[in-house]
Amino acid sequence: MNGIELRYKLIQFITNADESKLKQLEAIFYDTGDYVVSDEHKALLDERIAEFEANPESVILWSTLKADLDAKYGV
């Protein structure tokens, strides 16, 4: 796909996108890098990291989980 075709495809996508998709695109295009992580969220992340470090074998790989869900729900 050349540049002109890609522009046309993106224009069509943006024209038909709902508000949620437009907000996602805006976040990508205008990313300022000014991220604020709340203390609550930091605590949750610290908790999850500690759990992983204490029990690394308890992690389920995404590929395994996806295969299990595909088998169970046919997705």
The type of residue at 41 is H
Instruction: Dig out the tokens for 55 from the structure.
Output: 């029990």
Mean pLDDT over residues 39-55, rounded? 95
What are the boundaries of each domain within the chain? 39-73
Query: DSSP letter string over 27-47?
Result: HHHT--------HHHHHHHHH
Q: Please, which pLDDT band fits residue 65 given cuts at 50, 70 and 90?
A: very high
pTM, two decimal places: 0.44
Residues 53-75 have a mean pLDDT of: 92
| Residue 60 to residue 54: CA distance in whole angstroms | 15
Instruction: Give me the helix-helix angle, 3-16 and 19-29, nearest 10°.
Output: 130
- The stretch 50-62 carries a mean pLDDT of 92
Q: Rounded to 5 degrees, what are φ and ψ at 59?
A: -75, 140
What is the arithmetic mean of pLDDT over 17-43? 90
Q: Is the pLDDT of residue 28 over 80?
A: yes
